[in-house]
Each structure stands twice: as C-alpha cells, then as structure tokens.
Amino acid sequence: MTPFLLEDYGITVEDVRRNLPPSKLYEEAIRYDARTRIADSGALVAYSGAKTGRSPKDKRIVRRPQSEKDIWWGPVNVALEPHSFEINRERAKDYLNTRDRLYCVDGFAGWDPDHRVKVRVICTRPYHALYMHIMLIRPSRDELESFGRPDYVIYNAGQFPANRLTAGMTSQTSVDISIEDGEVVILGTEYAGEMKKAVFTIMNYLMPRRGILSMHCSATADKKTDRSSVLFGLSGTGKTTLSADPKRRLIGDDEHCWADDGIFNIEGGCYAKTIDLTPESEPEIFQALHFGAVLENVVLDEADRHVDFFDHRITENTRGAYPIELIRNVKVPAIAGHPTDVIFLTCDAFAVLPPVSKLSPAQAMYHFISGYTAKVAGTEMGITEPEATFSACFGGPFLVWHPTKYAELLAAKMRRHHTHTWLVNTGWSGGPYGVGKRMKLAMTRAIIDAIHGGGLVHTPTKPDPVFGFGVVTHCPNVPKEILWPRDAWGDESEYDSAASRLAGLFRDNFRQYEANAGPELTSAGPAMGIAT
Ligand code: ATP
Ligand code: MN
C-alpha cells in the first residue's frame, strides 16, 4: 500500500497515520504520550496542559474581501490580517514538520449528506486524534477511500506557541480560522474542545448562507413521532445532561442545524462535563465513559486507575468525549423532524427566573438575542458573587454573522412549524448562589418531561410582573412554591429587588440591539420597574 502523505499541504513528515481505530490510538497514546493513562472503566485519560478550557479572546477570523461584509466583527470575531495568518500557518506547519509522526483524521460535520462538510485534522497527539475521531462523523471505509479533498483542514500545533511579536497576537495562544482558504490553525492551546468549536464556527458561517439555522443546542426526538425538541443554552446550563434522556432518542448534545426537512446533528460524539458526575444522577453519560471514550483533565488514582470525578484540582471543566453510539437511545443517523419545542436553558444564579415559563414569539426572540445565563465564579478566585452573562443566540462565542441573522431564521422556522418556546431555569431557587440551592436535576428533568408530554402547553400560566412571560404554576412532580420564585424566597422584598436588578441588566444588554430591533421585540423584554 502506498503511504498516506500530506505533501500537498507542505507537510514533509513521512509517517502519517490516518484514521487509526480507537484501539490503535490507545496504543499510540500510551507509547508516546507520557501522562496518558487507561482508566479502570476503559476510557483513555489525557491531559491538555496549561489550557483546560477554550480561549475565546484568542479566536481570530482572517479578514478577506469575499467574506468581510458578512462577519460580525468585534470581540467575538477578532479580525486577523492575512499576512499574520500566513505566518501562524507557516509556524504551525514548521512545528508539525519537526515531529516523527503525525495523525490525520478525516471525517464529516453534519449528518445530512446534502449539507455535510468534509473536515481533515492534522495533529501530533494521539489523544487529539481520538477526540476528533469521536467528535466528527466517522466515514465508512468506502467514504474514506473516496474522501478526496477536504473542505476544511485543521492544523493543530497546539503544543507550540504563537509568536507574540506577530502582528495581531496578544498572547501565545491563537486559534485562527480562514473561511476562504478552508483552514484552521491552532497554536498555544491543547484543549481539545477548540477543534470541535472551530468546526462549529465554520458551520455557523456556511449554513445560514443556505437558509439553514445552525444552533448551539442539544436535541432529542420523540420515540413515536420523530418530532424533535431542542435545548439551547450556554456552557454549564444542562444541554448535554438533559439530552441524555432514556424517554427520548438522542440526536446530539451540542451543535445542530435546522434545515427545510428537519434537524440534523453536526457531530459524531458528545463532550460532557464530568465534574461531580455520579452513575445515579447521570447514568447514561456515566456508562458511556468506557472503552473508546476520552476523559480530559480528570484526576486518577495512580494505584487502581479509578477516576475521582469529585476532584476539582486540575480544573472545574473536566470533560468526557464519547461516540454518540455509546448512548443507548441514540438515533443514527442523527437526524429528526422539525422541533415541537424550543427550550432556552439558563442557569440563573440570582434565583430570579422561574423554573419554567412559556414565551410568546416576540419574547422568544428577545430571550434568544439576549442569551442570558449567570457564571458562578470559581471558588479558587475567592469570589462568591455570581456574574450575569449575556451571549447572543445562547452561543455568542461561535457566531460569525450578526446575531439578528440567526434570530430571523429561528423566528421564521418556528412560525412555519408552530414550535412552542420555553425558558427553563436550571440554576438557583429560593435565594441566590450562597443562600438558595441549585434546582434539583430530578426537578428540571420533570419539567422537561412535562414539556415533551405536551401537557404544559395547555396549562394556564400567570404573567410575571417584571419579565412579562407566562410562568407555569402547575407542573407534575414539581412543588408549586418553587414554580413561583417570589414564594420560594423567604423574603419577598429581597426577591423584588433582585428581580429588578436582573431586569436592569437585561435592559442594559439589549440596548445594543434596540436600533434595529423594532417595537415588538423591544417591548418583549422586562417592563420598567415592578408592577405592584
Ligand atoms: P457545554 O456547552 O459547556 O457543553 P452544557 O450546557 O452541555 O455545557 P452540561 O454538560 O449539561 O452543560 O452541564 C450541566 C452541569 O450542571 C452538569 O454537571 C449537571 O450535573 C449539573 N446540574 C446540576 N443541577 C442541574 C439542573 N437542575 N439541570 C441541569 N444540570 C444540572
Ligand atoms: Mn455540553
């Protein structure tokens, strides 16, 4: 057999190992990557080094004439001049060329064959190759043979830093995406999630151009009707956790597209947070973390190779990646019918938003554009106050077009398919972080079940005096007093001031969109002051 070479890309390494199966990647990881281990469960345990999460400030898009006017330039899409991109690409290739062997993973993004994108990953660490083998859609043997030229190539030289003196660099980390060249260059970070989110960013550019909505959401399908339900939410709000649901079929946990004939998953695997994971609370995910899965940055008992999911020492953001087939109720190919329900997940650490509210179409757009959640500051920083974050379309860091492009697509599709919209708070109840408690997972699951059962649509709601949406006040298996947050707090006046503070943050954030939002959307937000 002729060896597989990457000379066309200026890669001179002669030993290129393409699409190795997981068992071989395990062997390579153990042989060449000193810190890699095999956990007692059979998962491959690897470490990403200094970076244990994404580096959003270091993501850059190459500014070129063809796509320049399409892009929402600013802190999310930092412009990189073509010359600096070429320097970074050269630097990445120079680094790759110093290696004795490289790994190449070819796969697809998007389960719908009409819209799938061919992606090639070139990397140095076996664990990165296994990760992308998991996260991309795995081609069949025939598809691999006829793969041809990929649409996008990711050069992962994450072990090697960017040169701070290169124009446009602000640190040693840079994740550069060139839409026209079909290339991604990674320098200075070995966090595996950068690769999957680079693919998502590319899809967020390509799909809306075809009238397809790309979405930062998980998705499940009804076992009988095949109609889907999508759960939007920022990091840590519960997309992955709540989509692992034995009563439904899993379509995917993080990235989907809504096309004319239904929805499809972009990925071949899931990437779950594993901090404090237990087999009791998240059985589907726990049982998926066996042979063929990657565990990233978890702490392992050196003696018996048992993973301690409660150990936060390396990072709060410990992760497990597993092929989607390892979830028992998965639907493959991961394609389903139009959504009956769109659910916005928010982790409100201020305990203001109700566990579940029904949104009108205008309120749905308002909350989609706002993309509210709260970040709970890490205890290691000594900060106890949670911080509100607003991230457009519940996926700000991955948007490429202006948020209104995605919002308009969502509005049109929801109208056409009579989709209901819900706002679900998976965060705090009874008082803010430090006083109240996080909503019990079992309770949130009961709410999601009630939405999927179709019953909640017909339950009467009570308008929220500050935010205006319809609060669901009766839901099976959820205590009534929790459903109306003002009752769940010990002190009503404290609740009122917390609510008006949060409403103020919503209004401040929305100001940036007011100019082109129109009156309907502007009035769909929280009212001024509290009605008494
Ligand atoms: P990312 O975009 O980073 O992948 P995500 O939205 O998929 O984030 P999850 O991985 O589902 O987030 O993380 C939610 C975390 O919160 C899990 O660790 C879960 O156990 C925990 N959790 C606690 N209470 C709840 C709740 N009521 N609802 C959902 N998740 C909860
Ligand atoms: Mn997730």
pLDDT in tens, 494-507: 999 999 999 999 99
Q: Flag whether pLDDT at 236 surpasses 70.
A: yes
Please state, for a pLDDT cut of 90, what percent of the chain lies above it: 93
Q: Is 348 a pocket residue for ligand 1 (Cβ < 6 Å)?
A: no
Tokens of 88: 């970074």
Q: Flag whether pLDDT at 381 surpasses 60.
A: no
Q: Flag whether pLDDT at 209 surpasses 50.
A: yes
- Of 161, 160, 200, 206, nearest in space to 180 by CA: 206
Q: How far apart are CA 400 and CA 390, in angstroms?
A: 17
Cα dihedral: 332, 333, 339, 341 (round 10): 30
Q: How far apart are CA 75 and CA 304, in angstroms?
A: 45
Query: Does 54 participate in catalysis according to the annotation?
Result: yes
Residue with the nearest Cα to atom 25 of ligand 1? 441
- Of 116, 122, 126, 100, nearest in space to 33 by CA: 126
**pLDDT, average across residues 84-91:** 98
Q: How many other CB atoms are there within 10 angstroms of residue 144's CB atom?
A: 13
Model pLDDT, residue 532: 42
Q: Is 242 a pocket residue for ligand 1 (Cβ < 6 Å)?
A: yes
Model pLDDT, residue 317: 93
Q: Is-contact 339 227, C-beta < 8 A?
A: yes
Q: How confident is the model at residue 2 (pLDDT cuts 50, 70, 90)?
A: confident
Active-site option among 106, 253, 254, 348:
254
CA of 294 to the centre of ligand 2 (A): 15
Model pLDDT, residue 528: 67
Query: Does 523 participate in catalysis according to the annotation?
Result: no
Q: Flag whether pLDDT at 121 surpasses 50.
A: yes
Model pLDDT, residue 130: 98
Q: Is 243 a pocket residue for ligand 1 (Cβ < 6 Å)?
A: no
Model pLDDT, residue 529: 53
Give the number of whichever ligand sits closest to the CA of residue 394.
1
**pLDDT, average across residues 408-420:** 97
Q: Is 439 a pocket residue for ligand 1 (Cβ < 6 Å)?
A: yes
CA of 331 to the centre of ligand 2 (A): 18
Q: List, for residues 342-359, the tens digit of each pLDDT value.
A: 999 999 999 999 999 999
Q: List, for residues 441-476, the tens digit of each pLDDT value.
A: 999 999 999 999 999 999 999 999 999 999 999 999
Q: How confident is the model at residue 93 (pLDDT cuts 50, 70, 90)?
A: very high
Q: Is 451 helix (H, G, I), strand (E, B) or coil?
A: helix
- Atom index in ligand 1 nearest the CA of residue 282 equals 20
Active-site option among 125, 133, 138, 197:
197
For the chain, give percent helix, strand, coil, nearest 5: 30, 25, 45
Query: Does 224 participate in catalysis according to the annotation?
Result: no
Average pLDDT, the chain: 95
Model pLDDT, residue 366: 97
Model pLDDT, residue 377: 59
Model pLDDT, residue 189: 98
Q: Flag whether pLDDT at 531 surpasses 90.
A: no
Please state, for a pLDDT cut of 70, what percent of the chain lies above it: 97
Q: How far apart are CA 91 and CA 248, in angstroms?
A: 47
- Of 348, 272, 274, 281, nearest in space to 312 by CA: 274
CA of 309 to the centre of ligand 1 (A): 14
Q: Is-contact 228 219, C-beta < 8 A?
A: yes
Q: What pTM, to 2 d.p., does this model score?
A: 0.96
Strand partners, 390: 372
Q: Is-contact 126 294, C-beta < 8 A?
A: no
Model pLDDT, residue 379: 46
Q: List, for residues 240-254, the tens digit of each pLDDT value.
A: 999 999 999 999 999
Q: Is-contact 19 106, C-beta < 8 A?
A: yes
Q: Is 107 a pocket residue for ligand 1 (Cβ < 6 Å)?
A: no
Return the best residue to mutate from 273, 296, 317 for the ligand 1 pocket (most ligand atoms within 8 A of CB). 273
Model pLDDT, residue 270: 98
Give the number of whichever ligand sits closest to the CA of residue 356.
1
Structure-model confidence comparison of residues 71 and 527, the more confident one? 71
**pLDDT, average across residues 203-218:** 98
Q: How confident is the model at residue 384 (pLDDT cuts 50, 70, 90)?
A: low
Q: How confident is the model at residue 44 (pLDDT cuts 50, 70, 90)?
A: very high
Q: Flag whether pLDDT at 48 surpasses 70.
A: yes
Model pLDDT, residue 521: 87
CA of 241 to the centre of ligand 1 (A): 5
Structure-model confidence comparison of residues 384 and 445, the more confident one? 445
Structure-model confidence comparison of residues 490 and 104, the more confident one? 104
**pLDDT, average across residues 162-175:** 97
Query: Does 404 participate in catalysis according to the annotation?
Result: no
Model pLDDT, residue 522: 86
Q: How confident is the model at residue 378 (pLDDT cuts 50, 70, 90)?
A: low
Q: How confident is the model at residue 136 (pLDDT cuts 50, 70, 90)?
A: very high
- Atom index in ligand 1 nearest the CA of residue 274 equals 18
DSSP string for 276-325: T--TTT-HHHHHHSSTT-EEES-EE-TTT--EETT--SS-S--EEEEEGG
- Of 184, 203, 304, 205, nearest in space to 254 by CA: 203
**pLDDT, average across residues 221-230:** 98
**pLDDT, average across residues 60-85:** 96
**pLDDT, average across residues 36-65:** 96
